[in-house]
A = this chain, B = another copy of it.
Amino acid sequence: MTDTPASPDLERTDPVRVLLLEDDTPLRERFARILEDWPGGELVAACATLDETLALLRQQPVDLLMTDLNLPDGHGIEAIHLLSKLYPNADAMVISVLADDETVLAAIEAGAVGYLLKDADPFELVESIEELRAGGSPISSSIARILVRRMTAPPPSPSGPPLTPRETEILRGIAKGFTYAELAEWLSISRQTVPVHIKNIYRKLAANNRSEAVYEASRRGLIRL
């Protein structure tokens, strides 16, 4: 099948098998030219539709998928999903104009490791591919901002009535399944004092028992998981 079955995996001398998916013909041909000129890889095919791509993926292995997202017959994320499923070691790079949070996050979660906006120039494209093959994630800065926001946003709901430090400690203990006696010994207080704190926790969390309190507390981000 292949020409050089020699070198194992020490040096990636094998050409990278690239599959391109882009429905816009002028753009596809432009990208195809760039990829054909790239010495590091071999353009397996340049598809215009999702179906075509899915069929091709099933027929032959691919190392790198360069794909658009909004396609006439579906969503590029499907191609990424299939790629990840069939060839887990392959990489997927998105080249799209879509930059809304939902789309970007869906693509990343589907397995895309690169994400370029379509205004990227040819040099940037080739450079990005090489970065990607080197283990990096070339991502346009406006796209990267979405990822950063997602990672720093997480304080979901520091809202609600505040818990005293003592109550927070008790709450952690409750989550770990401690009984009155265990909580009392753990905090070095009387066994009879524990239920008082717990009752206050219930009131503040609008809970009526331990499991509901744990549920509410973790939902409100009051305790770590």
Q: Which residues of A contact B (CB under 8 A)?
A: 105, 108-109, 111, 113, 128, 131-132, 134-142, 144-145, 147-148, 150-152, 174-177, 179, 207-215, 218-219, 225
Contacts and interface: CB of A to CB of B under 8 A. Distances in A.
A209 to B, nearest CB: 5
Copies of this protein, total? 2
Contacts of A113: 145, 148
Contact of A136 (B109, B138, B144): B144
Nearest to A157: B225
Given A175-B215, A177-B207, A144 B145 contact: no
A139 B150 contact: no
Contact of A137 (B108, B131, B138, B148): B148
Among A150, A208, A209, find the residue whose CB has the most chain B CB atoms closer than 10 A: A209
28 contacts: A108-B148, A108-B151, A108-B152, A109-B152, A113-B145, A132-B141, A135-B145, A136-B140, A136-B142, A137-B147, A138-B141, A139-B139, A139-B148, A144-B144, A147-B147, A150-B151, A175-B215, A176-B215, A177-B207, A177-B208, A177-B212, A179-B209, A214-B215, A214-B218, A215-B218, A215-B225, A218-B218, A219-B225
